[in-house]
A and B are shown apart, each in its own frame.
Chain A
Amino acid sequence: MADSINNIIQISGLRKVFSDGTKTVTALDGISLEVRQGEIFGIIGLSGAGKSTLVRCINLLETPTEGSVIVDGKDMASLNEADLLEARRKIGMIFQGFNLLQQRSALENVCFPLEIAGVKKEDAKVRAASLLETVGLGDRLDAYPSQLSGGMQQRVAIARALANEPKVLLCDEATSALDPKTTLQILELLQKINKEFGVTIVVITHEMKVIERICSRVAILAESRVVESGEVSEVFRHPKTSAAKQLIFPQGEKIETFRGGKRLLRLAFDGTTTDQPIVANMVLSCGEAVSILAADTKLIEGKTVGQMVLQLPENESAAERMLAYLDQENISYTEGE
């Protein structure tokens, strides 16, 4: 096939079943997807969807129960032990918890995969130092992980993953332990690596913003299956499945399952209230949704004037909290059936 040449990773019919004798759990159920040479591919799913198992089936840290995983033309499951170890050296991996050797300095950590591959010590040191330079830690070669921030540790881990010039870099929730600003910096670094080194990157995450930021294509994983996949813009603009909608509009699901009570409330806005979003704030502070049955409000010179009919939630205590909130904010309302 012409286009399979461009696929650096080809997963077909992948199944993974865990069994401890009495219980069996199907972690992956008939996964098929392909990752193209040179792209940043995202796999997103809620926790328990099977993402971590899926990424570990790519470098065979987990052995697939059924199906095939082909990376750079090699059928991973069919390799013998020595060839598998060799193949893994060409697949870098970074983790949520960084997983650096705590008793080794940054430089020694980056040397580690080179030692494993049998590179001479002096050569390894030179290469490791230049990689740490690339990830922006050229001045912290001798620092130990305990002396580095989370973002810096992940940079060391990235340098380490690149040491043996991998064709693929697997990122398992690599930014989930980092604050938003550091997350962006790490994502930018991954993008830079993708461009400059031509490394294909597979990103596993539960965070939408990671996918939006750096991925070109995405697969949505839910309940052990790929439920949607394609270009990020396409999948995110027109999510078809409820799993996809839940990831993309995390609040959407709640409103669909809104159980309205009988109590209706008519709010009157006479322009004297502040310019706060009253209804939204009430919903947020009370932790329950309301349904807007009718609204006829206008913005006149920046003031909201008009009225709105709300259906309060079935949950009585939440409904009472909402009334208390409105009293506190001096919003006039009347209650009716």
Chain B
Amino acid sequence: MMDTKLLTLVGSGFAESLYMTFFATLFSYVIGLPIGLILAITSPEGIKPSREINFGLGAVVNFLRSVPFIILAVAIIPLTRLVTGTSIGSTAAIVPLVVAAAPLVARSVESSVKGVDSGVIEAARSMGATTWQIIKKVMLPEALPSLITGLASATITVLGFSAMAGAFGGGGLGAIAINYGYYRGQSDIMYVMVILLVLMVQIIQKIGDRMSVRVDKTIRESGSAAPEDNNTEH
């Protein structure tokens, strides 16, 4: 195979993977973030406990999470056709990616928000904050470092799913790896794809970690430890 041809192939695969991952992650959050918040606030220890809502929503999320991605993608082909008009290609792959990732995102958001100190939420309630104010001004900002870490994980999961989507016409690096590497026996191409995927995962993780630390005000810069009570107060 010629080098330029290989480069074009890799370039378009890379672009397709990025495209699928970006939009699938974005829409997963559009759906998963509110669901995660609802799960957190309707839980028994939440600010608006509701057994019915929590149980119902939780059951749907658990159901979707327990179906393997490949099977889910095939099962929802009618939905994919309805939304995108086709069942082949990167845009079509976004639909099953979102259906599979949104429940993961919901659980990840739920656990980030539940990690916010309940005392801080109680303090906000004692000040007369409304439920919406608590969500907007307490839960989300206080959970931000954890939400960013969750976003990195979710993006990596979606990238992995998108490589799987390559096996049934989704395009991207996964498709190249399976078509050239497996069906044609060109294992060198497969290895290149694997290395590229690994690099992408590493980069996403690093960016996520960095951003999480940067926004987190509970992490002190070195050399500025909190003062002790006795020697600083007058």
Residues of A within 8 A of B126 (CB): 59, 61, 88, 91-93, 170
Residues of B within 8 A of A89 (CB): 127-128
Q: What is the CA–CA distance of A157 and B126 in the complex, to the nearest angstrom?
A: 12
A247 CB-CB contact with B under 8 Å = no
Residues of A within 8 A of B230 (CB): 179, 181-182
A97 CB-CB contact with B under 8 Å = yes
Known: A97-B119, A144-B217, A149-B233. A112 touches B137 (CB 8 A): yes
- Min Cβ gap A100→B in Å is 7
Stretch at the interface among B81-89, B162-170, B221-229: B221-229
A101 CB-CB contact with B under 8 Å = yes
B129 CB-CB contact with A under 8 Å = yes
Looking at B125, B215, B224, which has the most chain A CB atoms within 10 Å of its CB?
A: B125
By the criterion CB–CB under 8 Å, are B233 and A85 in contact?
Answer: no
Residues of B within 8 A of A101 (CB): 120, 138, 141-142
Within 8 A of B (CB), among A71-113: 84-89, 91-93, 95, 97, 99-105, 112-113
Q: What is the CA–CA distance of A67 and B232 in the complex, to the nearest angstrom?
A: 46
Known: A117-B128, A178-B229, A182-B230. A99 touches B117 (CB 8 A): yes
A283 CB-CB contact with B under 8 Å = no
Known: A102-B217, A152-B227. A116 touches B127 (CB 8 A): yes
A146 CB-CB contact with B under 8 Å = yes
Residues of A within 8 A of B144 (CB): 103
Known: A103-B144, A147-B226. A88 touches B127 (CB 8 A): yes
By the criterion CB–CB under 8 Å, are A147 and B233 in contact?
Answer: no
Residues of A within 8 A of B122 (CB): 61, 95, 99
Residues of B within 8 A of A145 (CB): 217-218
Of all chain B residues, the one with the shortest Cβ separation from A93 is B126
By the criterion CB–CB under 8 Å, are A182 and B233 in contact?
Answer: yes
Q: What is the CA–CA distance of A137 and B224 in the complex, to the nearest angstrom?
A: 17
Q: What is the CA–CA distance of A95 and B123 in the complex, to the nearest angstrom?
A: 8
Residues of B within 8 A of A181 (CB): 229-230
B216 CB-CB contact with A under 8 Å = yes
B133 CB-CB contact with A under 8 Å = yes
A115 CB-CB contact with B under 8 Å = yes
Residues of B within 8 A of A59 (CB): 126
Known: A99-B120, A152-B233. A146 touches B217 (CB 8 A): yes
Residues of B within 8 A of A100 (CB): 120, 123
Q: What is the CA–CA distance of A102 and B138 in the complex, to the nearest angstrom?
A: 10
Residues of B within 8 A of A113 (CB): 127-128
Of all chain A residues, the one with the shortest Cβ separation from B141 is A103
By the criterion CB–CB under 8 Å, are B142 and A148 in contact?
Answer: no
- Min Cβ gap A190→B in Å is 15
Residues of A within 8 A of B66 (CB): none
B219 CB-CB contact with A under 8 Å = yes
Residues of B within 8 A of A85 (CB): 128-130
A151 CB-CB contact with B under 8 Å = yes
- Min Cβ gap B57→A in Å is 22
By the criterion CB–CB under 8 Å, are B128 and A86 in contact?
Answer: yes
Residues of B within 8 A of A178 (CB): 229
B184 CB-CB contact with A under 8 Å = no
Q: What is the CA–CA distance of A92 and B123 in the complex, to the nearest angstrom?
A: 9
B220 CB-CB contact with A under 8 Å = yes
Residues of B within 8 A of A93 (CB): 123, 126-127
Q: What is the CA–CA distance of A84 and B215 in the complex, to the nearest angstrom?
A: 34
- Min Cβ gap A55→B in Å is 10
Residues of A within 8 A of B142 (CB): 101-103
By the criterion CB–CB under 8 Å, are B123 and A104 in contact?
Answer: no
Known: A85-B128, A102-B218, A179-B230. A115 touches B123 (CB 8 A): no
Q: What is the CA–CA distance of A151 and B226 in the complex, to the nearest angstrom?
A: 11
Residues of A within 8 A of B227 (CB): 148-149, 152
Those 10 A-B pairs whose CB atoms lie nearest each other, nearest first? A88-B128, A99-B123, A85-B128, A99-B119, A93-B126, A89-B128, A144-B217, A113-B127, A182-B229, A149-B229
Show 30 A/B contacts (Cβ-Cβ < 8 Å), sorted by A: A61-B122, A87-B128, A88-B128, A92-B126, A93-B127, A97-B117, A97-B119, A99-B122, A100-B123, A102-B120, A102-B142, A102-B217, A103-B141, A103-B142, A103-B218, A104-B141, A104-B217, A112-B124, A115-B137, A116-B137, A145-B217, A145-B218, A146-B217, A146-B226, A148-B226, A148-B227, A151-B229, A152-B227, A152-B229, A152-B233
Chain B residues close to A by CB (< 8 Å)? 117, 119-120, 122-130, 133, 137-138, 141-142, 144-145, 215-220, 224, 226-230, 232-234
